[in-house]
Homo-oligomer: A and B are copies of this chain.
């Protein structure tokens, strides 16, 4: 193996996302290095309180309260402190030192993004922030890169898990807003002070970022019309439901013709009725999704977890590895990566559940015989269902048996099916199909 260069990573902040980022950098160092083309060394973690309790057990010697010194020596800086200062000054100092920066700080980006982007541009470093919008969902990078040759016309996003959870609760249980909010707080989906979420401020900051990237123009909070969900009543939800709609808090950015040939962009956040068959209507609980309409691509949707330490850490690490590759390779690296070295397995090694349809004799004891045979082959039955048909003319009865198994190997299943075929009570095996996602 060739000697890999080492890149020093400074982590600022060790909350629920930061702690997971640190854990992954340490635990997965061996996997990340060949993919990146460099060893990513976690040089230190800047925190306010060295003795605070952490979600993850991390080496004590990594912690420091001296963020300035940590940043000075880093090739890559991850900012997950939140808030405006000292995050802003530390990011600027990192950029001026030639480090690339990854942040999830949407408040800072909404307040002062353009100044930061310009500094990064001048210094020739990357400033990336996939984690700032829709947590784990890759959305900013696809908009920037994959859709760079298209014209986006509209973006509709469920980008706040707290409000989606509350509205979903109201929709499925008929609860009032206050009760659904209390439930969200009990389950940890809403904070003690839920204002930023329920009044739409969090979604508005994300709407500004999505609009800026989608329409290649700077939009900030002052351009975003914002209306939260506190006035949505159980009666509204019930009436919407009856009419075939679901109510979602959407972040919307859309291009609108002004009627005089010119165009503008409307950026807004408000509770919105969506037809139940719309792809976004099926986004339940605290999940996020962004629906993008583009002139050439048509309709696209990106769906996943919008918050949580580990999912958001995935987005941070994606930005980090991409920025590191650029330092090492001067570009994203080839699209093929062959650092995994895992063997391809034959189909016999795959395990799935199976659905098996059998045409069987209608005799007592048939079910027991078949169940016995499955058990002997180590294939566990989850559901077994028999339907009896009687032919009205001949008065002959036949029985159809449908079996869904637990996960089993292809090999075990194939042997079972062979054995079943040999039973005298079996007329035919009508179907064998694999089941996923159950």
Give A residues with C-beta under 8 Å from B: 20, 24, 28, 31-32, 34-36, 113-114, 117, 120-121, 126-130, 136-138, 140-142, 144-151, 156, 211-213, 215-219, 223, 225, 232-233, 235-236, 239-240, 243, 245, 247, 250, 252, 254-256, 258, 263-268, 270-275, 278-282, 294, 296-305, 308, 310-311, 313-322, 325-326, 330-347, 349-353, 355, 357, 383, 385, 402, 404, 430-431, 433-438
Query: Which interface residue of A213, A243, A315, A331 has the most chain B CB atoms within 10 A?
Result: A331
A213–B32 alpha-carbon span in the complex (Å):
14
Q: A296 to chain B: which residues have CB within 8 Å?
A: 20, 24, 136, 310-311, 313-314, 317
Query: Which interface residue of A243, A296, A320 has the most chain B CB atoms within 10 A?
Result: A296
A331–B325 alpha-carbon span in the complex (Å):
10
Q: A301 to chain B: which residues have CB within 8 Å?
A: 301-304
CB distance from A291 to the nearest CB of B (A): 8
A336 pairs with B218, CB closer than 8 A: yes
B350 pairs with A431, CB closer than 8 A: no
Q: A347 to chain B: which residues have CB within 8 Å?
A: 225, 266, 268
Q: A150 to chain B: which residues have CB within 8 Å?
A: 314, 317-318
B151 pairs with A433, CB closer than 8 A: no
Pull 16 A–B residue pairs with CB atoms less than 8 Å apart, ordered by A. A28-B149, A35-B148, A126-B332, A138-B145, A141-B141, A149-B321, A216-B337, A216-B339, A256-B345, A264-B349, A296-B314, A297-B315, A298-B304, A298-B305, A299-B305, A331-B331
Q: A278 to chain B: which residues have CB within 8 Å?
A: 437
- Pick the residue among B298, B321, B430 that contacts A235 (CB under 8 A): B430
B265 pairs with A120, CB closer than 8 A: no
A65–B266 alpha-carbon span in the complex (Å):
47
Q: Contacts A256-B345, A298-B305, A301-B304 hold; do A355 and B233 have CB atoms under 8 A apart?
A: no
A349 pairs with B311, CB closer than 8 A: no
Q: Contacts A24-B149, A156-B436, A332-B332 hold; do A342 and B431 have CB atoms under 8 A apart?
A: no
- Pick the residue among B32, B113, B344 that contacts A149 (CB under 8 A): B32
Q: A299 to chain B: which residues have CB within 8 Å?
A: 304-305
- Pick the residue among B36, B212, B351, B435 that contacts A273 (CB under 8 A): B435
A35 pairs with B216, CB closer than 8 A: yes
- Pick the residue among B156, B279, B385, B431 that contacts A303 (CB under 8 A): B279
A355 pairs with B273, CB closer than 8 A: yes
B326 pairs with A331, CB closer than 8 A: yes
Q: A217 to chain B: which residues have CB within 8 Å?
A: 338, 340-342, 344
Extra contacts, 15 of them, besides A141-B142, A250-B436, A300-B305 (Cβ < 8 A), are A120-B334, A136-B297, A141-B141, A145-B322, A148-B325, A149-B317, A150-B317, A217-B341, A247-B433, A256-B349, A268-B350, A297-B305, A297-B315, A298-B304, A301-B303
A345 pairs with B270, CB closer than 8 A: no
B263 pairs with A342, CB closer than 8 A: yes
B256 pairs with A351, CB closer than 8 A: yes
A342 pairs with B311, CB closer than 8 A: no
- Pick the residue among B255, B311, B334 that contacts A127 (CB under 8 A): B334
Residue of B with least CB distance to A224: B344
